Amino acid sequence: MAQRTPRNAKSQTAGRRDPEATRELILKSARELMSRDGAEGLSVAEVARHAGVNRGTAYHHFQTREQLIDAATRWVSETLHDAVLDNIILASHRAAEAVNVEAVIGQLAEFAMRNPELGRVWLYELLNSRQPANDKFWRTYRTMMERFAESDEAQPGIDVDVHSIVMLAGTFLWPVWVRAHARTAKERQEMTERFTREIVRLTLHGTLRPEKFAALAARVSQPEEQRPALS
């Protein structure tokens, strides 16, 4: 009678050959579980089962759940940094063009909607950190906001820390409301666009000098039914 191959044998064999691939598999499983259930009930043993690796292998890479949470939230920070800051803001600077404020806010909102639990875990860890500058996204985002506040495009007197935290908190808490009130993907997308438009409006009349962003001001002033869909 042929011996049956264990379901997770392939993962374990791959792990022995490629420890980095196994570590990424464990981290991916941790992110999936945190996205589904939050961080409260996360354990290394549960993540090992979900990843299809034995507990000893998982503990070799992550001795505690805190290490798993830290690594998972670091992924959020790096993903946000690459998607929002590198692709939009830094590209605008290289092209000597104005930053597309609407695109930045929209990208943040889209990410938060796709990763509601994981995003909130990241935000909590950031707010609770005594060294927030160690977070890649926060470090660049705050520096960007500080430079903006000192420019002639900004209203005077902006408190950079307060403004940054309010923006991020709103972005990562809005999906809680959406989950309670939207039932379809279309409804969720519409509510993401609603959030983006309102934050753009508040930003335009709170931190930006409207005369420096004439096209954006004209679009926001249009009746809602006449505004173009966000890209």
For the stretch 196-208, pLDDT in tens is 989 988 888 888 8
Q: Is the per-residue pLDDT at 227 higher than 70?
A: no
The packing angle between helices 116-128 and 160-181, to 10°, is: 150
* Candidate from 23-27, 52-56, 99-103 with smallest mean pLDDT: 99-103
* Summary mean pLDDT of the chain: 84
Q: How confident is the model at residue 14 (pLDDT cuts 50, 70, 90)?
A: very low
Report pLDDT digits (tens) over 79-100: 889 888 877 776 666 655 666 7
Give yes or no for a contact between 119 and 172, defined as CB atoms under 8 angstroms apart.
yes
Quote the pLDDT of residue 206.
83
Give yes or no for a contact between 155 and 207, defined as CB atoms under 8 angstroms apart.
yes
Quickly list H helices, the chain: 9-17, 19-37, 44-51, 55-61, 65-80, 91-94, 101-114, 116-128, 136-149, 160-181, 185-204, 214-221
- The mean pLDDT of 89-112, rounded to a whole number, is 76
* φ/ψ (deg, to 5) at 25: -65, -40
- The mean pLDDT of 33-40, rounded to a whole number, is 85
Quote the pLDDT of residue 95.
57
From CA 125, how far away is CA 112, in angstroms rounded? Answer: 15
Report pLDDT digits (tens) over 140-176: 899 888 988 888 888 899 999 999 999 999 999 999 9
Quote the pLDDT of residue 3.
44
Quote the pLDDT of residue 10.
45
Distances (CA, A) of 165 to 152, 160, 171: 22, 9, 10
Q: How confident is the model at residue 15 (pLDDT cuts 50, 70, 90)?
A: very low
- The mean pLDDT of 19-46, rounded to a whole number, is 90
